[in-house]
């Protein structure tokens, strides 16, 4: 646990010392604000609950993009700069490296997600929504963020450059995004099985409507665990090359 926290603090410091973390945060919050005003408030009269649903749907997209941008540097940048060799020669296990880097990115993304809470709070100016609906939506965003971050860590572990890491991460996420569309053209029961891999429609949309279901929590937790496990195996294979 100490090694994990050392790696996490090191990576968190990298986000805070360089402008990239601040630029990602500023761009994400700016886009969320613009989308909230143009799509949620600027599209005629809507029920307050629909305004919140629209906001959460848009936020799932910005959260995914932010996750890719935050993780593309984790391993790829160190590989480009040559510092990954120093990390490999330290008395830290591969799993501790992966989890530490993931935790640092998750802390940054969580702060970024929570920083947008003022937007749904604006709904109370002219309307009324359930606090539980907002909390459920943000729980979904945090779980979605953890899952997409873990896929981004895997992409960065596989790639040699940051651009390639971003591309691989986007491909991994897009595969899960396509699961819902693919399920609609495949006959059941196979189509039903494929639908359960959907990152958004099957598992995030309930959170978007204010529902917290154990099956959705288990899905995101399992996907996060499996992606981090795969990243650990990749780093193990690279460490001894």
The Cβ of residue 200 has, within 10 Å, a number of other Cβ atoms equal to 18
pLDDT-based confidence at 111, cuts 50/70/90?
very high
Task: Name the nearest CA neighbour of 140 among 67, 48, 191, 209.
Answer: 209
Task: Name the nearest CA neighbour of 88 among 205, 240, 197.
Answer: 240
- The answer to whether 66 and 28 have CB atoms below 8 angstroms apart is yes
Q: What's the number of domains the chain is made of?
A: 1
* Alpha-carbon gap, residue 193 to 190, rounded angstroms: 5
Average pLDDT of 148-159?
Answer: 91
| pLDDT (tens digit per residue) in 158-217 | 888 888 988 999 999 998 888 888 888 877 888 888 888 888 888 899 999 989 999 999
Which of the given ranges, 24-33, 87-96, 142-151, 157-166, has the highest pLDDT on average? Answer: 142-151
* Alpha-carbon gap, residue 215 to 192, rounded angstroms: 15
Helix (H) / strand (E) element for 141: namely helix 131-158
Domain hosting 6: range is: 2-239
- Helix, strand or coil, per DSSP, at residue 159: coil
Q: Quick one: CA dihedral 76, 79, 82, 83, positive or negative? A: positive
* Alpha-carbon gap, residue 46 to 214, rounded angstroms: 30
* Alpha-carbon gap, residue 100 to 231, rounded angstroms: 12
Question: Token pair for residue 82?
Answer: 């040559």
pTM (predicted TM-score): 0.90
Angle, nearest 10°, between helix axes 19-35 and 94-115?
40
Cα 68–Cα 74–Cα 76 angle in degrees, nearest 5: 95
pLDDT at 124 over 60: yes
Average pLDDT of 71-81?
Answer: 80
The Cβ of residue 159 has, within 10 Å, a number of other Cβ atoms equal to 20
Could you tell me the end-to-end alpha-carbon distance of the chain, in angstroms, rounded to an integer? 26
Query: For residue 108, what are the CA distances in angstroms to 24, 38, 71, 104, 156?
Result: 10, 27, 11, 6, 17
Query: What does the DSSP 8-state code read for residue 40?
Result: I
pLDDT at 22 over 70: yes
Average pLDDT of 43-64?
Answer: 83
Q: Which residue has the tokens 């981004």?
A: 152
């Amino acid at each position: 646990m100490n090694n994990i926290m050392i790696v996490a603090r090191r990576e968190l410091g990298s986000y805070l010392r360089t402008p990239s973390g601040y630029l990602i945060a500023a761009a994400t919050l700016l886009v969320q604000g613009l989308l909230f005003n143009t799509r949620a408030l600027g599209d005629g009269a809507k029920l307050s609950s629909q305004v919140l649903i629209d906001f959460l749907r848009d936020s799932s997209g910005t959260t995914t993009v932010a996750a890719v941008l935050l993780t593309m540097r984790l391993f790829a940048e160190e590989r480009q700069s040559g510092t990954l060799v120093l990390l490999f020669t330290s008395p830290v296990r591969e799993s501790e490296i992966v989890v530490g880097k993931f935790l640092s990115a998750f802390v940054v993304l969580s702060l970024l997600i929570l920083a947008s809470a003022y937007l749904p709070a604006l709904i109370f100016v002219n309307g009324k929504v359930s606090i539980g609906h907002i909390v459920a939506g943000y729980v979904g965003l945090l779980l979605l963020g953890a899952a997409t971050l873990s896929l981004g860590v895997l992409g960065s572990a596989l790639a040699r450059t940051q651009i390639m890491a971003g591309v691989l991460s986007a491909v991994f996420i897009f595969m899960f995004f396509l699961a819902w569309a693919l399920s609609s053209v495949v006959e059941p029961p196979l189509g039903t099985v494929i639908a359960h891999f959907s990152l958004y429609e099957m598992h995030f949309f309930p959170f978007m409507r204010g529902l917290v279901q154990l099956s959705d929590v288990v899905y995101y937790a399992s996907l996060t665990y499996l992606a981090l496990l795969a990243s650990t195996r990749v780093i193990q294979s690279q460490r001894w090359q």
